[in-house]
Amino acid sequence: MPRTGDSLWELAAAEVQRRDNPEDDTEPSADTERSVFFIGNKNGGKTTIILRCIDRDETPTPTLALEYTFGRRAKGHNTPKDIAHFWELGGGTSLMDLIPIPITQENIRTLSIVLVLDLSRPSELWNTVEKLLQATRNHVNKVLADIGKSNTKTANQIVQNVWRNFPNNHPDRELIDPFPLPLLVIGSKYDIFQDFDPEKRKMICKTLRFVSHYYGASLLFTSKSESHRGVMRTFVNQLAFGQDKSKSLSVDHNKPLVVPAGLDSFSQIGSPPASDSDLRQVQVRTPMELWKKIYERHFPPKNTNDTKDTKDPAKDPQYAERHIDAMRAQKDQELEQYKRNADKSWKSMSLGSHVR
């Protein structure tokens, strides 16, 4: 470290020595910060995954709206820390209006997206993927466009970063449409999924491989098994703390899938599991539409309404505040009284108009 009173030449010599011997540099630099935004099925295990990755042994509680937590990792003694900001969207697809909050111009350069899908509910998978990724992508593109107005180079660099996993000689480089930010797709509850009929497992595995590869995402399945958790932690910690990428690869639909971004291909995935006659009958314009039609033939989407199931946080016991709740109850009573009085006023006005 330079000392007060050092001459310009002494400072320059110290800087040269520091560059030549970086291991001797004991002055820590600034901490590294990254952000990870978790989206996916309601009750799909997002909170559990986050807690596992930051070594917090506690019972997860349902995420009602948008929650934030963070984790730290030190690389060594007297060294800067890696700080990860974890955002989690609750409610499945019912709270997509909150998606813009964690995605800002300030953090988008170091932001990653994790989409958690509940493998035990295959009829909800496609709808969840389609709605959440589209809503997230729309806002990411908006933020990138705003950045591009003042700094085109930075906006372009953020987009180009996702192409690093797809070199020029990758056979599908011209056929994919990568998500504009690093994307990890996690299939949770594999312990339930593994008991599905083999043909159903094959359909789900191939579909998720296709979707993940098309969006330039990594894909993995996980469960309560410690070995599965270890693989999951490696992938998430790579996004959150910049740790080394996983070298694992498994595309066998009889085993948990582990497919890092860029290591799959459409030729390996193959066509949707359907007969030639069924494929010819489907009227579509893109491969994505074809996979959607075939998948929904196997797993018809359910008419679920996440919004109806979303609880009111004001009435949730875990957020109880005695004084605030008492004031809220009083205001609710005042509102009901106001509505009754207003209703009487309108009725009297209506009767008066008829008399005249």
pLDDT band of residue 225 (cuts 50, 70, 90) is confident
Domains annotated on the chain, with CATH: 32-298 (3.40.50.300)
- pLDDT at res. 14: 60
pLDDT band of residue 331 (cuts 50, 70, 90) is confident
pLDDT in tens, 239-269: 999 888 888 899 999 999 999 999 999 999 9
pLDDT in tens, 125-151: 999 999 999 999 999 999 999 999 999
CA angle 298, 303, 306 (to 5 degrees): 120
Token pair 């893109």 in the structure block, residue: 286
Structure tokens at 140: 């990411």
pLDDT in tens, 195-205: 999 999 999 99
Are the beta carbons of 140 and 108 closer than 8 angstroms?
yes
pLDDT in tens, 48-60: 999 988 888 788 8
Q: Read off the pLDDT of each residue in 112-134 and give the average, rounded to a whole number.
A: 97
pLDDT band of residue 306 (cuts 50, 70, 90) is low
Are the beta carbons of 217 and 185 closer than 8 angstroms?
yes
CA 142 to CA 164: how far, in whole Å?
22
Token pair 């995402």 in the structure block, residue: 217
3-state secondary structure of 94: coil
Return the closest-CA partner of residue 306 out of 131, 129, 95. Answer: 95
CA 279 to CA 290: how far, in whole Å?
8
Quick check: 321 pLDDT over 60?
A: yes
